[in-house]
Structure 1
Amino acid sequence: MALGPAIVVDQFGYLPGHQKIAVIRDPQTGFDANDALTPGASYEVVNAVTQAVVYSGAPAAWNNGTVDTTSGDKVWHFDFSSVTAAGEYFIRDRERGEVSPRFKIGADVYAPVLKAAVRAFFYQRAGQEKTVANAGAGWADAASHVGPGQDRNARLYSAKNDASTERDVSGGWYDAGDFNKYTSWTAGYVVDLLQSYLGNQPVWTDDYNIPESGNAVPDIVDEAKWGLDWLGRMQEADGSVLSIVGLSHASPPSAATGPSYYGPASTSATLNAASAYALGAKVLGGFAAHSAYAAALRTRAENAWNWAVANPNATFRNNDAANGSEGLGAGQQETDDRGRFTARLIAAVYLYDLTGKAVYRDFVENNYAQANLIRWNNYVSPYEGGMQLALLYYASLPGAAASTATAVRNAYGNGMESEWFWGKVTGKADPYMAFIPDYIWGSNSVKSVQGSLYLDLRRFGIGSRSEAEVMRAAAGYVHYLHGVNPLGKVYLTNMYSLGATNSTNQIFHAWFTDGSAKWDDAKTSAYGPAPGILVGGPNATQYDWDSRCPGISPLCESQRPSPPYGQPPQKSYKDFNDGWPLNSWPIAENSNGYQVNYIRMLSRMR
């Protein structure tokens, strides 16, 4: 039997005690509207090894047969939650013969997927040799950006001919599909990696096949330390932290020979680095081998705070022609007054947790009510994840004022009970069981954060929802990214060896570039992109080709590519990595931010 596109499941599998729902789809609008389907009256769960039918039942129409506008689909749900025995299965329409991809049921179905997702950070490391043993033959590469004029002796962007500005800014991670290294964003990745560790410590092991594996420290902590090492090199003697390093690009990364340049210190970079230093000191201080390193991080954190307090408005806009930084980096990481305030509040939380000092506690107590969660009356949002997590973390600390902890917990709990969260779950707002308000740039990251919003209720003991309810709500977002979506697409790259039937084949990335015989496409190139990288996802509002198309280039052809253009929001995706003028990056680029949001969510599925 051939696999049919009509039945979508989590292609990796389901935990035994969790809800299990296969989605049967009848497309009504969008590029696949002609693929009409009338489901049979009975569906079966079939053991893929023995071919025995272990369960059968009738599918139930979602919302009485309503067409969902976000996907353009009419949908039925086939609930097979009663199947709990470990094994490999598929779903079959008994009358029509169509079958789903195979999937597993077991307590460890997500363990190899989580390992691949964390290992994606290893492939993003700058200055790290990627040996065959660690990277696999397909992605082995020499250390990148360590040649003359590169990261080990980078110069200030505005003094490119001044050797006195040279400094070692090696290490760190390529930020996304571009190879640049941004301090504020890197600091956020470090914090989220460490929070992933703290959120479910038993799941983390020391066998992820990275160079640090086997050192008696969980590999996710080792990966966070790689980022902290780089942030340490970015700190000046006065406590300030440089804002960015711009790198040259090539495929593979070791082939890049252009010079590296850095930007000056900024308040936002320094405050964000302070958070990473502080939480890093807290976590790494728990490992005897890193006690001295943790002590040094504590000093870095406090020095960064002190500099930022004394210099509250130091800004630097990279890649901005107005100040001569055009070409330094790509994305703009500088923020406004509100952004600096938020960074300072988050830093104060982690510094207080580390040091217990009143200066940091007082700042949180005096300013927490200015966070949007509080000042906008129980405002919970997937776009406020870092601030919300920091406040929940603070509210869990024994030294937090009881009134503050209560206010934070109540605001979060009440916000989650609103129509935008539990209301969407109980109201069955999304037939694919992973509601988000908009499909924008990085929608897969938003899905991941949204799943974690539910999981944080359990982590911090907030609200009256049962563990089963919380896990059911959060699991919908995991299943969506693993194939329970209108495309039946696993939104992780090259996961066929781990059981995916329809995995992301291409991403917009300087290494895995369009046209590369080795890395362009997981299906047609020698290797494809490295496994486990979360792609940006459907983008209904911010994707378009170059505005001068079609006349500017024959690559435009005569019309915009559809999909992704002109589709229902959940179908506004294409598995492609074309550069200019088709501009795939708003859909097909990765980001370490997307990656760590997915990791934090998946790591708590148990």
Structure 2
Amino acid sequence: MNTADTTNKRRKFLLATGALIPMSLIGCGGSSPASLPASAAAPPAPASGSQAASRALSKSSPASTMTLGPAIVVDQFGYLPAHDKIAVVRNPQTGFDAADSFAPGAVYEVVNAVTNVVVFSGAPLAWNGGATDASSGDQAWHVDFSTVTAPGQYFIRDTQGNVTSPAFRIAADVYKPVLRAAVRYFYYQRAGIAKTAALAGAGWADAASHLGPLQDKHARLFSAPGDASTERDVSGGWYDAGDYNKYTRWHAGYLIDLLHAFADNPGIWGKDYNIPESGNQHPDLLDEIKWGMDWLIKMQETSGAMLSIAGLAHASPPSAATGRTLYGPPNTSATLAAAGAFALGAKVFGARAGLSSYGAGLKARAERAWNWAVANPNVLFKNNDAEYNSQGLGAGQQETDDYGRLGHKLAAAVYLYQLTGKAVYNNFFNAQYRNAHLFVWYNYASPFEGALQQALLHYASLSTATPATAAAIRTAYATGMNGTDHWAAMSGKTDPYLAHLQVYTWGSNAIKSHEGTMFAALARYGLGTRPAAANMNAASHYIHYLHGVNPLGKVYLSNMGTLGAENSVDQFYHTWFAHGSAKWDSVKDSTFGPPPGFLVGGPNPSYNWENGCPGLHPGCGTAVPAPPFGQPPQKSYLDFNDSWPLNSWSVTENANGYQSAYIRLLSRFVS
């Protein structure tokens, strides 16, 4: 099956309200449960179980006496001096590594890796009295070395078992190079621009993609591909995920996430990220946001309506793609999402020297988009859908439902009100905010609703907000964050790896990022009864999980060995870095492997191979890959990038929404 056929077959698994999916959870590919609407109250419960397997988790080998996994897991980049530092010692009980066994010694030491001086010594503390955790299949012990604050390079040692952890740093700038790599991700995802060896690295240099005949600069309406009068320029922007399509509604969400990341902490962003704009008067993150915003501008019609999607051809490398580009018609959901992105962008860009006129243009676009959506509240378009005769246009379904449109409209109203001060936006918000799930679900704060909750909190922070409305939002959110799945779980150490999620599913790493940001929001907005430091410590555990404090000892970012990771992602689903590519398949086995800094989807206990395997196709092999199949939720992961029929995309594919959520969280820990 060729790449284009595979891409057309794939579907995104939309796991949250339509208003929130673009900012948080974009799985891109594969068949997914059709029974889960965009406004579902919660994702399906994860499967669990155990199944031993001979297939290795990763092509790197963390230091351990065990054969299938690590004994001691840490954040492989390191820790901030003043924050919690807790290593986890593990003894597998169920899952693919159940044959492993590890009994921790009585004394654990933190050792300076340069001087070999022991700076801390202590006993491991059994999690939950030695019980086995169902989400990971492990027994666990904690080694709390938070008292170690001196900058340096360290490792942890079990003095009896002669087992050591990966090395890590303690430093005030420990995450700065990681954040830089994470932001550079978007440069690699750019469409329609040459990636030079000087900027991308020799291994990932590529000519500009999708600029040939009938491609992005001359795209045509999907329903009239022979009509030259429908041609328009939809060039630029970012490939959405492991596919190259560009979805307007989701793209707007990525911009909102990144704009918040910039506005939350504007002083941390460097001008040395080695992108084409580096060295100009603006921080490189803002330059990258502008690249994405410029594409959003191209998707707006003079009426204010936003075109829904641009469907691109696929090949490896991207410049080899020669197929035509087609676009979809306007829809209300994309237009509302763009109204929010334009409005927040106008606020941020308008405050920058040299960008005030750009900001003014975004303001006008935001209001035109709002006005069109108000006049056209229910214009729908489903891509890749037989009902709309749009089969093959894009991969994931970008359309949403009524609640999704409401969420986008509420968010747009917040950002437009902040920007303009006009009563029309404030009045709409005050009339409708209690229809958000935060209120409908009786103060239940959900990581699947991260973007709308952020918009609500943003409104509550405005000096011109209606006081009673602001108070209601703050109270509901603070109450929700005290609940079972948030502070109660953190205080009670419900998860031995200290980064509790109620459910693991497609895109779980993005949900981890959102959960961490939810704790950080308590600190940012001064909510709840706990001090800001406690809330930030809670948030930091979700960063540590993504950096290796998990049952696999896996850093869920690609190719991070040069930045200190001992066991980072070796391969993941992406059209460019395709399975079998001699250049880009794998960090270990290919000439180059994929670039650094791509966050993968993460553990997904709903993973399965294509229905009909093994008899469907020789590519099935004889057994479903396990892991990720049939594992405890946190072990439902494998570094693999096989396409159809093994469908690795539901586990390892990157997505811009995953990346923007991670950047937003990580940036809170950089100063």
Map 1:74-153 to 2 at 5 A: 74-153=139-218
1:414 to 474, 479, 502: 479
Q: Deviations over 1:167-215 (max 9, x none)?
A: 0010010000000000000000000000011122222222211111111
Could you tell which deviates more after superposition, 288-297 or 256-265? Answer: 288-297
1:536 to 569, 579, 601: 601
Distance 2:429 2:279 in 1: 39
1:183 to 234, 245, 248: 248
Equivalent residue number for residue 647 of structure 2: 583
Distance 2:611 2:421 in 1: 54
1:555 deviates by 2.5
1:466 deviates by 1.2
Q: Which amino acid aligns with 1:601?
A: L
**Contact in 2 for aligned 1:279/1:350 (Cα 8 Å):** yes
1:31 deviates by 0.8
Map 1:222-371 to 2 at 5 A: 222-371=287-436
Distance 1:545 1:335 in 2: 27
Q: Is residue 2:524 matched to residue 1:459?
A: yes
Higher relative contact order (CA 8 A, sep 6+): 2
Q: Is residue 2:560 matched to residue 1:488?
A: no
**Contact in 1 for aligned 2:522/2:532 (Cα 8 Å):** no
Equivalent residue number for residue 206 of structure 1: 271
Q: Deviations over 1:228-248 (max 9, x none)?
A: 100100000111110000000
1:553 deviates by 2.2
Q: Secondary structure at the match of 1:298?
A: helix
Q: Is residue 2:635 matched to residue 1:571?
A: yes
Distance 2:62 2:434 in 1: 57
- CA change 1:55–1:467 in 2 (3 A) is same
**Contact in 2 for aligned 1:65/1:74 (Cα 8 Å):** yes
Q: Which amino acid aligns with 1:517?
A: A
Equivalent residue number for residue 230 of structure 2: 165
Distance 1:436 1:538 in 2: 12
Distance 1:238 1:261 in 2: 20
Equivalent residue number for residue 616 of structure 2: 552
Distance 2:397 2:122 in 1: 52
Q: Is residue 2:559 matched to residue 1:499?
A: no
Q: Is residue 2:655 matched to residue 1:595?
A: no
Q: Secondary structure at the match of 2:355?
A: helix
Distance 2:199 2:603 in 1: 32
Equivalent residue number for residue 155 of structure 1: 220
Q: Which amino acid aligns with 1:430?
A: D
Where in structure 1 are there 5+ consecutive unaligned residues? none
1:338 deviates by 1.5
Equivalent residue number for residue 465 of structure 2: 400
1:428 deviates by 0.8
Equivalent residue number for residue 63 of structure 2: 3
1:194 to 245, 255, 259: 259
Could you tell which deviates more after superposition, 466-475 or 145-154? Answer: 466-475
Distance 1:196 1:125 in 2: 20
**Contact in 2 for aligned 1:281/1:298 (Cα 8 Å):** yes
Q: Secondary structure at the match of 1:68?
A: coil
1:581 deviates by 1.1
Q: Secondary structure at the match of 1:241?
A: coil
Q: Which amino acid aligns with 1:603?
A: S
**Contact in 1 for aligned 2:95/2:137 (Cα 8 Å):** yes
User: What is the TM-score when the length of structure 1 is the normalising length?
Assistant: 0.99
Q: Which amino acid aligns with 1:428?
A: K
Q: Which amino acid aligns with 1:558?
A: T
Q: Secondary structure at the match of 1:88?
A: strand
Equivalent residue number for residue 66 of structure 1: 131
Map 1:467-486 to 2 at 5 A: 467-486=532-551
Q: Secondary structure at the match of 2:199?
A: helix
Distance 2:619 2:103 in 1: 39
**Contact in 1 for aligned 2:526/2:532 (Cα 8 Å):** no
User: What is the TM-score when the length of structure 2 is the normalising length?
Assistant: 0.89
**Contact in 1 for aligned 2:333/2:405 (Cα 8 Å):** yes
1:216 deviates by 1.7
Could you tell which deviates more after superposition, 462-471 or 7-16? Answer: 462-471
Equivalent residue number for residue 450 of structure 1: 515
Distance 1:559 1:524 in 2: 23
Q: Which amino acid aligns with 2:622?
A: S
Q: Deviations over 1:410-441 (max 9, x none)?
A: 00000001112111011110000000011100
Q: Secondary structure at the match of 1:46?
A: strand
Distance 2:558 2:438 in 1: 35
Q: Which amino acid aligns with 1:122?
A: Y
Q: Is residue 2:116 matched to residue 1:56?
A: no
Distance 2:463 2:74 in 1: 43
**Contact in 1 for aligned 2:62/2:553 (Cα 8 Å):** no
**Contact in 2 for aligned 1:154/1:260 (Cα 8 Å):** yes
1:2 deviates by 8.0
Equivalent residue number for residue 17 of structure 2: none
Distance 1:179 1:479 in 2: 30
**Contact in 2 for aligned 1:546/1:580 (Cα 8 Å):** yes
Distance 1:358 1:288 in 2: 28
Distance 1:49 1:439 in 2: 39
Q: Secondary structure at the match of 1:352?
A: helix
Q: Is residue 2:106 matched to residue 1:41?
A: yes
Runs of 4+ in 1 over 6 A off after TM superposition: none
Distance 2:179 2:420 in 1: 32
**Contact in 2 for aligned 1:2/1:98 (Cα 8 Å):** no
Q: Secondary structure at the match of 2:668?
A: coil
**Contact in 2 for aligned 1:2/1:99 (Cα 8 Å):** no
Q: Secondary structure at the match of 1:76?
A: strand
Q: Deviations over 1:268-319 (max 9, x none)?
A: 0111011111101100001121111111111100000011100111110000
Q: Which amino acid aligns with 1:305?
A: W
Q: Which amino acid aligns with 1:552?
A: L
**Contact in 2 for aligned 1:71/1:568 (Cα 8 Å):** yes
Distance 1:258 1:555 in 2: 26
Distance 1:195 1:342 in 2: 17
Distance 2:485 2:63 in 1: 35
Q: Which amino acid aligns with 1:318?
A: N
Distance 1:76 1:517 in 2: 42
1:264 deviates by 0.3
Distance 1:163 1:482 in 2: 50
Equivalent residue number for residue 562 of structure 1: 626
**Contact in 2 for aligned 1:127/1:143 (Cα 8 Å):** yes
Distance 2:334 2:583 in 1: 37
Where in structure 2 are there 5+ consecutive unaligned residues? 1-60, 65-69
Equivalent residue number for residue 88 of structure 2: 23
1:372 to 437, 443, 468: 437
Distance 2:330 2:573 in 1: 30
